[in-house]
Amino acid sequence: MGRSRKASRGVCGRRVKPSSHGLEPLECLGHVIIQPVDMVKVRIQLGQGSAVHVAKTMLSHEGFGSFYKGLSAGLLRQATYTTSRLGTFKILTKKAVEANDGKPLPLLQKAIIGLTAGAIGACFGSPSDLALIRMQADNTLPPAQRRNYKNAFHALSKIVTDEGVLSLWKGAGPTVVRAMSLNMGMLASYEQCIEVFRDQLGCGEVTTVIGSSTISGFCAAACSLPFDYIKTQIQKMQPDTTGKYPYTGSLDCALKTLKTSGPLIFYTGFPVYCVRIAPHVMMVWIFLNQIEKFQKAIGF
């Protein structure tokens, strides 16, 4: 049986070849724009106060440049994480659709593919994510405990030298789980919304893309914030004078936090996090749709 045209159609039913080429620069540009929001989000999760208080304190005590501390690590994370995550998702989706005789995939299968893509992407991006969190949290530590990393590569080399190669994946567990939950919310919801807006509601291309991207961004933020909170706590922790860490792992961190602060603590800073995640997700999907249209126009 020949492969159905539906197997590789874009937002408006056009035949396109799924690709993530060109998204790496977009992800990096997006990170530059949302870096200050990401910095404020991390400081909120570390108990520095509200978004307004954190922003004012950083401006008055550290200067505007402090909002971009760790930018090199953030860009490195986007370059490694985006390539592996979206590439894996497109490949797995294409294979699954072919195995399903060209029929649309059920939501559960899309979610599983999203989880898998997120996990693979996080494994590649975990070292740079560790460097980013440490650089962003450095000024919250006493001067004697600060690491003073100069850039992402300096951070990675110092981690390897001082703590060993495997330490690059410290906090990889919650990083992977966060990425899996974010991608499940982002990728599965987008694909499902595309079908609803386009096929069931009969919406045009612009409404379909913007509507689906908006819902996708919100779902990504809502699904991933609890794991992002735990990831931040694990990656920034330091041993006490006896060499003991406050948490033995992500599960221990989650249980202790739940016991002392309640479940809502995991959604600390949700409005800021949503502002940090949702527009970024929307830009990715909108730009990807334009890439697909361009590829069709040139016959790629």
Using one digit for the tens of pLDDT, what is the confidence trace for 99-155? 888 887 887 787 788 788 888 888 888 899 899 989 988 888 888 888 889 999 999
How far apart (Å, rounded) are the C-alpha atoms in residues 281 and 275?
10
288-294 mean pLDDT: 75
247 vs 11, higher pLDDT:
247
Instruction: Number of helices (H) and strands (E) in the chain: give both, helices first.
Output: 10, 0
How far apart (Å, rounded) are the C-alpha atoms in residues 59 and 54?
9
> What is the model's pLDDT at position 257?
92
Q: Which amino acid is at 207?
A: T
- The model's pTM: 0.65
Please compute Rg for the chain using Cα positions: 20
Q: Dihedral sign, CA of 119, 87, 26, 223?
A: negative
Place of tokens 């970024």: 280
Q: Which tens digit of pLDDT belongs to each residue from 44-84?
A: 888 888 889 999 999 998 899 889 998 999 889 888 887 78
> What is the model's pLDDT at position 25?
66
Place of tokens 């994510």: 129
> What is the model's pLDDT at position 19?
44
38 has a pLDDT exceeding 60: yes
How far apart (Å, rounded) are the C-alpha atoms in residues 215 and 194?
10
20 has a pLDDT exceeding 50: no
204 has a pLDDT exceeding 90: no
